[in-house]
Amino acid sequence: MKTYYNSPIGRFVITGSMQKITSIRIDDTVQNFSGQLAPYMMQCVKELDAYFNEGLEQFSVELDLSQGTKFQQQVWNELLNIPYGRTSTYLKIAEKVSSKRAVRAVGRCVGNNPFAIIAPCHRVIGTDGSLTGFAYGLEAKRLLLELEKSKLYGKQNKLF
């Protein structure tokens, strides 16, 4: 099952199966999908809308992590633990799932995260505090981090 969501940073294609989300990725070339959506897909769209417009901090849709290796699943689960409006580093995630030697492997897993926004890879930054790699560009990453901070701290949202 597929649907899409038009966000301020691009059009997300959402795929799902067996009552779980299997991916959320930006693809601005995708055409509109028609047809009846399953309740879990409608919930995902509503939660993305609430994230971008109302500051939803925690998603409740179920993700199908089984498509990844055990290591990828560990990394993606760590992404889910990064609080809204906060950041973590590749090194901190590596230390939690394996060892600090695994920092590059963690970077690859974060870069291949199939659950954009919901497993918030945009909250992962370099150890020195710099914005580093994001599949949808550093400008989108910066905008997402600013969106969360503006909602969290009650500042006027001038991003979109």
Catalytic residues: 121
* DSSP letter for each residue of 94-150: HHHHS-GGGHHHHHHHHHT-SBTTTS-GGGEE-TTS-----TT-HHHHHHHHHHHHH
Chain centroid offset of residue 135 CA: 11
- Find tokens 């492997």 and name the residue: 105
> What is the C-alpha separation between 114 and 134, in angstroms, rounded?
12
Rounded Cα distance, 69 and 57, in Å = 27
21 sits in which H/E element: strand 20-26
* Amino acid occupying residue 68: G
